[in-house]
Structure 1
Amino acid sequence: FLFSVENLCRDIFLRSNMDHQGFIPVSTIASFNRVRSLTSDTSIILDALRNSAVVEVQGDRLRKRHDGASWAL
């Protein structure tokens, strides 16, 4: 959901926390209420997303797969 085109079009906070390559720290994602209601454990979040077709995991950072850098502000 967070990395959907629909959400990225309107979520300026998420995009403003991206680095120039479009990556965002998993700790930022873990702080969101919707994610925190499931878990705040960043290792669980990273493990869950590691094989995602939508999200790319690099270390402790996440970005939209394929065109992630284009969403950075």
Structure 2
Amino acid sequence: MAYNSNNYNKWATEVVKIYNACKTPDIPDTEIIRREFPKHNIFLSYRQWMNIKGRPIPKMQPTLQMNLFEFAR
């Protein structure tokens, strides 16, 4: 998995986006994990998915270099 927390947060955000695109009330999470995630090369167990789903994903902070460009305007 990702060693850098920023990389993990980006990856988890993408996984949640795919989940939200596939989720409807009549489709259980296990079907999405088993059928939809592998189409996007995401291979998770149900336990891994519940850890991602239950974890609040922080918003990405802009880097210092980008802040320098904003002040230069």
Q: Same fold (TM over 0.5)?
A: no
Larger radius of gyration: 2
More strand by share: 1
Higher relative contact order (CA 8 A, sep 6+): 1
Please, what TM-score do these two structures have when normalized by structure 2?
Answer: 0.31
Tell me the TM-score normalized by structure 1: 0.31
